Amino acid sequence: MGDAVGTWEARGKRYPVRGHDLFVIDARPREEAVEPLLIIHGFPASSFDWRHVLDPLSVDRRVVLLDLLGYGLSAKPDQRYSLFEQADLVIDVCEILGLTEVALATHDMGDSVGGELLARGMDGTLTFDVTRRVITNGSIYMDLVQLSPGQQLLLDLPDEQLPDDDLIGAELFTASMAETFGAETRASDEELAAQWELLARERGNRLLPRLIRYVDERRRYEQRWTQAIERHRSPLTIIWGDADPIAVYPMAERLRERVPSATLHRMEAIGHWPMIEASARVVDAMRAALW
C-alpha cells in the first residue's frame, strides 16, 4: 500500500449502507462556524482526489467525503451501477451522520449525483437542505462532452465485469489518466500510482465497463439533472480547469450564462482535476464561496 493511500484510509471508517460498506471521512473542527460541507467525487477516482483541500477547509467547518459504491475504498460489487443508487447511498450516509443541511461540492460524475440530490430537493423529497454549491469539471451539457478514446472503448464493451485483470492494467489506466491533466500541471508518478492502487483495490479495474454506464444514464436523464443544477435556489460557484480535454471550458461558460448569479472561477491551464492540480487556488475559491 502506498503511503498516501494508507494515510488517507486511516482518516476514515467504513459504514454499512444498504448492504455495502462505504468508506467515509468525517472531519470535524473543534468549533463549527458554518454548515457542513459534503464533497462528492467523480469517475474513475474517489474522495482521495480532494485530500489536498481537506485540511484547509476543515479548520472551521465539518467536511464529509465518501467513496461512492464501486470506487476507491468502498465495496465494489459486480452489479449494474446507477447514479440514482449512488444518490440514495449519499443520502443514507448523511442521515447516519445526522446532517440536516450541507454546502455541496461536486466533481465530474459527482456533478450528476449532485444533480439528482438537487432534483430531489426541488421535489421536496430530500432529507437535508443544500444551502450553497460548488461545481467543478464535469459533464453538465452532454452535447459539449469530448469523451476520451479510453472512455469510448469502455462504453463499447458489454455492461459486464472484465474477465481478466490485465485487460485494463496499470500502464493503460495511468497513461489515460495522465492525459486529462494540464500540460503545466502534469500528474506525478506517485499520484498516478495512488490512483491506480485505489482503482485496483478489490479488483475494481475489472468493473470499469460497468461503472462508466453513468455516461448513458447521464444522457438519458440530462434534462432532470441539468435543470436542477441550473434552477436550484442555492447560490452556485463554478470552479473549472480550462485545459480539461473532456469537460471542456465552454461547458462552464454555458452554465454561467444559464445561471447569471453564479460566480465563475476560471482555472487557467488547469486540466480535469483542479483540486489536485491547483489545490491552493481551489481552497481560496471555495472559501470565498462557502464562508
Q: List the CATH number of the domain containing 52.
A: 3.40.50.1820
Residue 213 Cα to chain centre, angstroms: 15
* Residue in this structure with the C-alpha cell 452532454, named with its chain if needed: 142
Residues 6+ apart with CB under 8 A from 7: none
Per-residue pLDDT band at 187 (split at 50, 70, 90): very high
Angle between helices 170-178 and 189-200 (to 10 degrees): 130
pLDDT at 54: 98
CA 172 → CA 141, 162, 166, 201, distances in Å?
A: 28, 15, 10, 16
Query: Is the pLDDT reported for residue 167 higher than 90?
Result: no
Overall average pLDDT of the 28-44 stretch: 93
**Half-sphere exposure for 287 (CA within 13 Å, toward CB):** 16
Q: Domain total for the chain? A: 1
| pLDDT, tens digit (0-9, with 9 covering 90-100), for 208-241 | 999 999 999 999 999 999 999 999 999 999 999 9
CA 94 → CA 16, 19, 36, 79, 261, distances in Å?
A: 13, 16, 10, 24, 28
Read off the pTM: 0.97
Query: Is the pLDDT reported for residue 242 higher than 80?
Result: yes
In degrees rounded to 5, what are phi and psi of residue 102?
-145, 150
pLDDT at 33: 80
In degrees rounded to 5, what are phi and psi of residue 185?
-135, 50
Domain range for 72: 3-290
Query: Is the pLDDT reported for residue 263 higher than 80?
Result: yes
Per-residue pLDDT band at 148 (split at 50, 70, 90): very high
